[in-house]
């Protein structure tokens, strides 16, 4: 978070979000299997490039996927989809997890916020605030909708420019 708080020029280049997602899927595959969860991905074969930094965007998306895995019970499902809409790539990470209470939802991007006050799950409450800070650096947007005992959907919009 300290690095994200400083005003440094962004290290950007043309990157393919599809490649980042495929690498992430490989990296989390064993964890999902160990948790007896199902991971479904819908990623188009061709995706416009975006301006960004591979490491930063990998980190942001990993934090979102990590939450989906952490809060989805065994035999639950995690869906990752990527769509193209106008001049944005829309990444959706949807899970059948425990969900987030309505009163907690406005606070999920706050630093150190944890809905789980008893701390029965791992983490310190920085994951989503870091993800949001990274995504906003690339003129992106992140939104969350959730229903307790049904699941959570995180939508990330990242702009692209056609050459």
Share the mean pLDDT of the chain.
87
The pLDDT score that the predictor gives to residue 123 is: 53
Q: What's the confidence (pLDDT) of residue 147?
A: 96
How high is the pLDDT of residue 106? 87
Which tens digits make up the pLDDT trace of 106-144?
A: 888 887 655 654 344 555 457 799 999 999 999 999 999
65 Cβ partners below 8 Å, 6+ apart? 24, 28, 78, 80, 93
Torsion of the alpha carbons at 105, 58, 136 and 147, rounded to the nearest 10: -20
Instruction: Please tell me the pTM assigned to this model.
Output: 0.85
> 80 near 23, Cβ under 8 Å?
no
């Amino acid at each position: 978070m300290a690095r994200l708080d400083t005003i440094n020029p962004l290290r950007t280049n043309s990157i393919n979000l599809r490649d980042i997602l495929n690498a992430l899927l490989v990296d989390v595959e064993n964890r999902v299997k160990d948790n007896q969860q199902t991971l479904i991905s819908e990623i188009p074969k061709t995706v416009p490039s975006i301006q960004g930094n591979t490491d930063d965007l990998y980190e942001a998306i990993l934090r979102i996927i990590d939450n989906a895995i952490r809060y989805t019970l065994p035999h639950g499902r995690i869906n990752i989809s990527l769509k193209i809409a106008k001049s944005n790539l829309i990444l959706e990470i949807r899970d059948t997890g425990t969900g987030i209470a309505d009163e907690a939802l406005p606070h999920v991007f706050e630093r150190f916020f944890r809905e789980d006050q008893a701390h029965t799950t791992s983490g310190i409450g920085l994951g989503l605030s870091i993800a949001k800070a990274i995504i906003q650096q690339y003129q992106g947007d992140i939104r969350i909708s959730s229903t307790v005992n049904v699941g959570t959907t995180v939508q990330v919009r990242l702009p692209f420019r056609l050459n």
